[in-house]
Amino acid sequence: MNPPAQSPLPRRDFLKTSAKAAAGTALVAATPRFLTAKERANSIGANDRIRIAHIGCGSRGRDAHLVNGILPHKDATNFEVVAIADPWKVARERMNGVVQKNFGRPAKEFVSYRDLLAMDGIDAVMIASPDHLHTTHLEAAAKARKHIYVEKPLATDFAKLVKAYDAAKAAQAAGSIIQVGTQLRSFPGVVGARELMKSGVLGKVMRIDESRNGDKPYWYSYLGKDIKKEDVDWNEFLGDTPKQAFDARKYSAWYGYYEFCQGPVPQWGAHFLDLMHYVMDCGLPQSCVCLGGVTTWKDENNFTTPDNVIATWMYPEGFVVTSSNNFGNSAGNTRKFFGEKGTLSVDNWNAPYYSAEGGRKRDGSIRGKIEVTPIKRPDHWLNWLECMRSGETPHASIDAGFQHAVAVMMAVIAYDTGKKTTYDSKTRQIKTS
């Protein structure tokens, strides 16, 4: 069965079209008068302190978002962390230890994101909750009209993705700055790879592959935490997933359980897909297939996240994309763009290179391995902080997040059903055939 016809819109046209449609849909139902983008951008002046809150205080929120993310820019950008929320008492305490050390006083602690968002005096929210809660927290923060930094993958459920995206577009129209955590767009080498692709030196690209492998799934590293039932608001963690008895193992190593995390294609593949969308300046995929399962790591943990999986997408611009992960053998890692005149390797995001290798139309214009010229720009965290003052669109906009999330959800649904999926951009539906 052939997939439905889809107009091969360039990425820039897709972003414009989806922005108009989503913003219009969400704003029609809105009753209060929101600030204009200019008014909102001007609400944080050059000398005003940005007041940031964190939803999710685990290792991602504490180490990646706070310690290694925004804190290096503390002196240059004038912000403070005023509130944190997490279902686990120990995570809140650890996070607040970092806040106390760097700001001289603790942040206000909350168990629920609802109470945090009801607090006065918050300008921006950073979301580093488990995957199944991203859309819930994004939608709530958007409706509260906060500036937002939200982790990938943007969604684990397609209907929730559309709702959260519409809320985010309405917030963006009111002036909220929303950065999605696909930070490779801010890497100088990746920015340079985009310019290289625009130059046409590789000719037509027909295939793009990534394989990220390991000898053991990454979720095993989260086992062994001393998590006591009395220290956790289990229902807050579950969100709107089916109710079940408290399980310390599931709480600590939620990456390994499919109801909370759908595996390495959404987790790691989201980075690769976003990098590919950015470098290729393309639109949405037209079809996808995905196969895999728990083939190697079968033990007392009863993990359900696939440890061996491969997804393949067809794009209307005429190229095929594959993302695969094998956690039974660590060999074969690669990330390459195959063109008719040569190949671009992004095996190392910081130092991509290209050569004439394999190019059936190579013409001598590429000789040897040539390092891609890096193009510097602010890192992902600094970019978000600066955009809150300038009102400019950040590197990984909510539209870019929606784009990678649609591709990811096409793979998830294909994996769940064993069928090919297609995306209908007019109705915003993923269909199976």
Band of the pLDDT at 51, cuts 50, 70, 90?
A: very high
Q: What is the dihedral of CA 22, 24, 26, 29, to 10 degrees?
A: -160
Model pLDDT, residue 3 = 34
Model pLDDT, residue 133 = 98
Preceding peptide of 153 cis, ω within 30°: yes
For residue 190, being part of any structural domain is answered with yes
> Percent helix, strand, coil in the chain (nearest 5)?
40, 20, 40
Of 401, 336, 341, nearest to 148 (Cα)?
401
Distance CA(316)–CA(403), nearest Å, equals: 14
Write out the residue range of the structural domain in which residue 368 sits.
185-376
The residue ranking higher by pLDDT, 396 or 3, is: 396
Residues 40 and 169 grouped into a single domain:
yes
Model pLDDT, residue 44 = 76
Q: What is the value of pTM for the model shown?
A: 0.89
Residues 262 and 364 grouped into a single domain:
yes
Q: Which residues of 84-123 are buried (b: 16+ CB within 10 A; e: fewer)?
A: bbbbbbebbebbbebbeeeeeebbbbbbebeebbeeeebb
- The CATH number that applies at residue 295 is 3.30.360.10
Residues 265 and 330 grouped into a single domain:
yes
Of 316, 309, 329, 68, nearest to 210 (Cα)?
309
For residue 386, being part of any structural domain is answered with yes
Distance CA(309)–CA(278), nearest Å, equals: 24
Mean pLDDT of 179-198: 98
- The CATH number that applies at residue 174 is 3.40.50.720
For residue 80, being part of any structural domain is answered with yes
Mean pLDDT of 105-130: 97
Residues 259 and 350 grouped into a single domain:
yes
Band of the pLDDT at 43, cuts 50, 70, 90?
A: low
Residues 39 and 135 grouped into a single domain:
yes
Residues 259 and 320 grouped into a single domain:
yes
236, two tokens: 């807050």
Cα R_g (the chain), whole angstroms: 22
In three-state secondary structure terms, 149 is strand
